[in-house]
Amino acid sequence: MEIITLTMNPAIDLSATVDHVIADVKLRCQNTKREAGGGGINVSKALHKLGGESLAIFPTGGATGALLEMLIKEEGLQYHRLEIAGWTRENFFVFEESAGHQYRFI
């Protein structure tokens, strides 16, 4: 039996670390990583890592949509994308190493 996941609001999740978060200062990010995200996509990724299979269905558009599709292909997931006029959203997560806090910009 095939599992189908549906992600109505997929995203590119960009994460990075910094030593300290300081207002009004350029912060040099380290360990930057881009990943395909969104509820159903995350379920499909977890199933794939556990040896299962699924079909991820999601809307995507613009340059960020093309990047999302590339990231999903790199993960080795089966998918079907639905083209939309707008751009796929992006999320930005920063982990402050000194305090152990995560900042999430959605």
Burial environment of residue 56 by CB neighbours within 10 A (0 to 12, 13 to 18, 19 or more): buried
User: Which has the closest alpha carbon to 66: 83, 47, 46?
Assistant: 83
Q: Confirm if 61 and 40 have CB atoms less than 8 A apart.
A: no
Residue 43 to residue 49: CA distance in whole angstroms: 10
91-102, pLDDT tens digit by residue? 999 999 999 999
Q: Which residues contact 33 (CB under 8 A, 6 or more apart)?
A: 14, 15, 16
Q: Confirm if 3 and 55 have CB atoms less than 8 A apart.
A: yes
User: Which pTM value belongs to this model?
Assistant: 0.89
Residue 60 to residue 81: CA distance in whole angstroms: 6
22-80, pLDDT tens digit by residue? 999 999 999 999 999 999 999 999 999 999 999 999 999 999 999 999 999 999 999 99
